[in-house]
Structure 1
Amino acid sequence: MIKKGIRRQIVLHYFIVVFTALLLVEVIFLLAIRTYYYDSVYSHISTSVKNAERYYQIFRLYEEGNVNLLSDMLANFKLTNTELQILDTKGNVLINTTEFQSETSITTSDVPQAIAGDIGRWVGRQPSTNEDVMAVSKLTQLGGEDTYILRYTTSLKMLNDKLFNVSLVSISIGAAVLAVVLAFSMGLANSIVKPLNNITAVSAQMAKGKYKARVKGDYKYELGELASTLNHMAQEIVRSNQIKDDFISSISHELRTPLTSIKGWSETIHSGGFDPDETKIGLQIISKETERLIGLVEEILDFSKLQQNEMKLVMGKVALKELLKEIMLNMWTKAEKKNIKLVLESDENPIVIGDANRLKQVFLNLVDNAIKFSEEHSEIQIVLNCYPEQVEVDVQDNGLGISEEHLNRVRDRFFQVNPLNGGTGLGLAISQQLVEQHQGTLVIQSELGKGTVVTVMLPLSNENDSIS
């Protein structure tokens, strides 16, 4: 007995479908064979009766009232291996070819059919012999007014025996076909269940944290896709865990550095003995490092809100050119330290519908990254272009660029091209989601050693395309 499961369902379904089809074919075949043989017997008797009647009527010299008429008819109309009875129109047996005389009239359905003018036919069990027979009756009138019914009765025993043998052969063939189908369905079920069991076992290992486990085997079609998807999922989990570990290591360093500075200067100031200028420098460092910590924490909190769809945008009209000018002013000091020139190219001041603070956060991050990865004495261009239904902002630099390998992953959370540059690796991931919340797109094009272009596309406001 096959235990419950997919294997059992596949085998059972195949078996039921094939068994039903075979059963229908067997029934139709056996009925067709039975009908064919029975019709052949009926056709043979009917044809013989018609031929004999035609011959008898032409060549027999009929004499009305001849007492030898019935015996003469019996001799001329009889058939081999078939009992012939001559009946009157009331079904009484006048004479027959056997020694047994019927004491009752014949009431089977073939007699009324013959009286009605048809060649009657009846198949059933003969009471006197308890044997299956076929009776064929025909009304005949041989001159004068005397009308008789010729009734032929033939045994169906040999015919039924042949049909029984044919049925046995047919059933045997059906059983053989079912056995082959059963074996085939078992093989098919195993070809599906074994890979599924393997995939299930690997999934169980992954559920226990063993993400290095892989589904092995060259499976085809949906099973192959499932195995590949599971392996890819495990690979992504391993990569995500590695990125998470790198992030924890990086953020630990990022947090430790300002905290060390804050703690050191706090203890130094608390101990006293410093002049006002040194105390002022210490307090400035504490304030600066505190702001740095707040920025790191806020970045992590923003990412958490975006992941949980809790980020609420305060939508309004935003003059994009004015926003970009404000960003340039905010980043001017940082750019000056590396002698980097910030250039804004725009002839229009388009209006977009969005959250000014969040859009500012996006472009601050993009310009900050451009400054971070640009060489000294270089130039960063912020180009603003307007189109009929959207506005494009390009942040271009001639810095280090990003390799093709890293370009596909640079927007992944916690990923950093160079962890030594600091940060959480969340900036671009947050910017990407913020732009998408504004129904826009963020595209990065870069070539290692030649610089990077980050393009942000935002829909224009329907009310006003731009402000001059």
Structure 2
Amino acid sequence: MKKLSIKLGVLFFLIIFGLMTFMFFFLHMEITESRVEEELQSLQARGNSHRAVLEKHLDQETIDHVVLMESESTTDVVILNRAGEIMGSSSPSETLRKYLKVPNSNIPREGQVVEANWEEEPYISTVSPIHINGQVSGYVFMFENTESVHSLMKGLNEHFLIAGCVSVIFTLIIIIFLTKGMIKPLISMKEVTYQLSKGNFAVSLPKTSDDELGDLAKSIEVFANELSYLKQQRSEFLASISHELRTPLTYIKGYTDIVKKRELSEEDRKKYLNIISEETNRLSVLIKELFDLAQMDQNSFDIEKERIYLNHFMDRLEQKLAPAFQDKERNILFECEENLFLMADPLRLEQILINLLDNARKYSPDGSNIKLKAWKYKNSIHITIEDNGKGIPEKDIPYIFNRFYRVDKSRTRSLGGAGLGLAIVQELVHAHEGEISVTSTEGKGTIFELIFKGE
């Protein structure tokens, strides 16, 4: 996690430092340009003020007065006549000579900038024309030494440097606390996942904020609970398999020893052999169901869908199941809309319905009716299996699709089954992208409903 915190810290610092550098650079440029522009405007305004005085009295006394005023300030003035001759100057004219050029083009009344390159030139300057009787009679050149501008920029740079250093320090402090705040819950999650890898599922995470880290913490807790549940289910699964395999094997071994070692009458011999045959069949069914579930868990079984017209499908199903229902004195009723079809695997659909109908037959009294009904509602195909048998207790309904779960805790062998049938049914229904639900009332009956996507 230290590596991650360093990476996050460096990444945050580079991003924030880059943004700050760009912002400071942009702000510095804007302030510099704005400040130089203000100096030029101030210089221009001062020149225009002198120009206004000279336009009223363009004589030597007024010129000397203007020169005297500028000699006491940080700026300089040079006054030229129309021919370019110096009429007055507040500074030695040699240092300013190269800037004193009579403009060839007309200068605007408000004047113009002569030199604005403060970074390379020793002066910035402006010029204002003197108009008398509508004619240009001279020019007022204003100068300001760029040392003052450089001094201003130096001070500005120092302030920016201090502000930048303070910002970097505060940024580093914020990043350290921010990184720790982000890494701390990740360290807790790392410890929890390590405990999970060691098989300790009784773990919890401290409550975090309602953000992505909080969602991740909740997901890890849900994952831990699921693993704990799966561990418990695996233990119960293995115990159930052990019991279900041991029981028929015990019967088979016990009655085989009786047949082999004892002198039995033909009637008893057939009786014991029938028991052995029944238990062998029961064991074979159990192994087949376990094999089916293993294939479903590994997604290694195929669902080959085809168009099934349910009327014809139910007719064939009725012919197949009629002897078993008649033998138990139960009535099976089929009801289906005309021309109703479903895209499904016919073998798997038959397996689903036979399993549910067989359960209804086992748990319904003699002379009862069991109804299989199919219809279309909107874009879904609904199939229900309804009986008027003993029903399922409300407390057992949430668990009847669990593997090896039996409502009848006594595990009476007269009803058979290992508690895998409904688990297989649910897996097959989900493989068809369908849903299965159950409603039941004790003493009145049970309804299983299948819902498949239609076309």
- Give 1:183's aligned residue: 173
Would the alpha carbon gap of residues 162 and 457 (structure 1) be closer, same or farther in structure 2, given more than 3 Å must change? Answer: closer
> How far is 1:300 from its partner?
0.9
Would the alpha carbon gap of residues 184 and 31 (structure 1) be closer, same or farther in structure 2, given more than 3 Å must change? Answer: same
> How far is 1:291 from its partner?
0.8
> Contact (CA 8 Å) 2:130, 2:137: kept in 1 or not?
yes
- Give 2:17's aligned residue: 19
> How far is 1:455 from its partner?
1.4
Letter in 1 for 2:390: G
Post-superposition Cα deviations, 1:237-258, rounded to whole Å, max 9, x if no partner, equal 2222222222222221221121
> How far is 1:444 from its partner?
1.3
- Give 1:306's aligned residue: 296
Are 1:165 and 2:159 counterparts? Answer: no
- Give 2:234's aligned residue: 244
C-alpha distance in structure 1 between counterparts of 2:161 and 2:189, whole Å: 41
Alignment of 1:329-368 (within 5 A): 329-330=323-324, 333=327, 335=328, 341-344=330-333, 346=335, 354-368=344-358
Are 1:393 and 2:384 counterparts? Answer: yes
Are 1:102 and 2:101 counterparts? Answer: no
Post-superposition Cα deviations, 1:127-156, rounded to whole Å, max 9, x if no partner, equal 9xxx84322234547799996554332224
C-alpha distance in structure 1 between counterparts of 2:127 and 2:322, whole Å: 115
Are 1:83 and 2:76 counterparts? Answer: yes
Would the alpha carbon gap of residues 233 and 149 (structure 1) be closer, same or farther in structure 2, given more than 3 Å must change? Answer: same
- Give 1:320's aligned residue: 314
> How far is 1:16 from its partner?
3.9
Alignment of 1:187-266 (within 5 A): 187-266=177-256
C-alpha distance in structure 1 between counterparts of 2:104 and 2:127, whole Å: 6
Output the TM-score relative to the length of structure 1. Answer: 0.78
- Give 2:115's aligned residue: 122
- Give 2:447's aligned residue: 453
- Give 1:384's aligned residue: 373
After superposing the two structures, state which structure 1 stretch, 350-359 or 247-256, moved more: 350-359
> Contact (CA 8 Å) 1:15, 1:181: kept in 2 or not?
yes
Letter in 2 for 1:59: H
- What secondary structure, in the 3-state scheme, does the structure 2 residue paired with 1:261 have? helix
> How far is 1:185 from its partner?
3.1
Letter in 1 for 2:112: I
Would the alpha carbon gap of residues 29 and 316 (structure 1) be closer, same or farther in structure 2, given more than 3 Å must change? Answer: closer
Post-superposition Cα deviations, 1:336-360, rounded to whole Å, max 9, x if no partner, equal 6xxxx44425376866554444333
Alignment of 1:11-160 (within 5 A): 11-60=9-58, 73-77=63-67, 79=70, 80-81=72-73, 82-86=75-79, 96-98=89-91, 100=92, 102=94, 106-108=97-99, 111=101, 117=107, 118-124=111-117, 132-140=122-130, 148-160=138-150
> Contact (CA 8 Å) 2:252, 2:276: kept in 1 or not?
yes
> Contact (CA 8 Å) 1:410, 1:416: kept in 2 or not?
yes
C-alpha distance in structure 2 between counterparts of 1:415 and 1:187, whole Å: 53
C-alpha distance in structure 1 between counterparts of 2:65 and 2:104, whole Å: 21
- What secondary structure, in the 3-state scheme, does the structure 2 residue paired with 1:309 have? coil
After superposing the two structures, state which structure 1 stretch, 350-359 or 52-61, moved more: 350-359
> How far is 1:431 from its partner?
0.9
C-alpha distance in structure 2 between counterparts of 1:92 and 1:4, whole Å: 76
> Contact (CA 8 Å) 2:78, 2:88: kept in 1 or not?
yes
- What secondary structure, in the 3-state scheme, does the structure 1 residue paired with 2:199 have? coil
C-alpha distance in structure 1 between counterparts of 2:243 and 2:196, whole Å: 31
> Contact (CA 8 Å) 1:87, 1:95: kept in 2 or not?
yes
Identity score, percent: 21
> Contact (CA 8 Å) 1:46, 1:119: kept in 2 or not?
yes
Letter in 2 for 1:280: K
Letter in 2 for 1:96: S
- Give 1:465's aligned residue: none
Post-superposition Cα deviations, 1:253-296, rounded to whole Å, max 9, x if no partner, equal 22112112222222333336223222222222221111111100
Output the TM-score relative to the length of structure 2. Answer: 0.80
- What secondary structure, in the 3-state scheme, does the structure 2 residue paired with 1:102 have? helix
> How far is 1:328 from its partner?
4.8
**CA root-mean-square deviation:** 3.9
Letter in 2 for 1:274: L
Letter in 1 for 2:3: K
Q: Which runs of 5+ in 1 are unaligned?
A: 62-68, 463-468
Would the alpha carbon gap of residues 366 and 258 (structure 1) be closer, same or farther in structure 2, given more than 3 Å must change? Answer: same
> How far is 1:424 from its partner?
4.0
C-alpha distance in structure 1 between counterparts of 2:62 and 2:104, whole Å: 21
Letter in 1 for 2:265: D
Residue among 286, 294, 300 paired with 2:276:
286
Would the alpha carbon gap of residues 407 and 116 (structure 1) be closer, same or farther in structure 2, given more than 3 Å must change? Answer: farther
> Contact (CA 8 Å) 2:67, 2:90: kept in 1 or not?
no
> Contact (CA 8 Å) 2:78, 2:86: kept in 1 or not?
yes
> Contact (CA 8 Å) 2:43, 2:143: kept in 1 or not?
no
- Give 1:430's aligned residue: 424
